[in-house]
Amino acid sequence: MNGPMSRPNNAAAIRGALLVIAAVVVGIYLLRGTDTPTLEPAPAASPTTVQGAESEADTSDDGAGTATETTLPGITVATSVPEDGSAADDAGTMVGFEGRPNSQVSVQVANSTTVRGAAGRTTDILKTKGFVTGTPINMKGTPLDRTRVHYKPGNIIEAGNIAELLGLDAKNDVYKMPQDVAALGDKFDKDVDVLVALGIDKASAE
């Protein structure tokens, strides 16, 4: 008995539910369209310029190579670099340094050859130039073809001066003091600043 009358009631209930759902959807859309916050993009960070360390050192070109001035607190040392880019020796080529006076530099001559008296004659040459000379000695072993000038740490400039005085190459004929000095014998002065190891080139020229 209630079947025919219940259909209109069910249809009305369905239409009402659809209206409610539609209202909710429209409300959500309106809320999202008006209340959603807008995020502004953060401003890009401006680039920072970092000054390189090279600005702390002055460089100049003298035509023969590149001169570099290195500055430390209270100390300024100028060194020159060969134009061809080759490495300098362990102390570099110091500009404006002449070394200590000859009277403050001790040197000993060792003869590696069989030429008698060669070490003594070279010692006399150095003595006349004001160097503090030690007793001439002989070296054991194979004679050197070319004379070498050895220096203790802190005496490279003085060794270069002695090399030039003897007609040698201040760059290629100057070496650090050898650690093994057994070939020099008991008369070698281990406290000497510079050692001249006389070779055939200079011993024969005496």
CATH of the domain at 131: 3.30.70.2390
pLDDT tens per residue, range 42-92: 555 555 444 544 444 444 444 444 444 444 444 444 444 444 433 334 444
Residues 89 and 136 in one domain: no
- Is 106 in the same domain as 191? yes
19 within a domain of the structure (yes/no): no
Q: Which domain holds residue 90?
A: 56-94
Tell whether pTM > 0.85.
no
| 3-state SS assignment for residue 13 | helix
152 close to 193: Cβ distance less than 8 angstroms: yes
Cβ atoms within 10 Å of 174's Cβ, excluding its own: 24
What is the number of domains present in the chain?
2
Where does the chain have alpha helices with state H? 3-35, 118-128, 156-165, 200-203
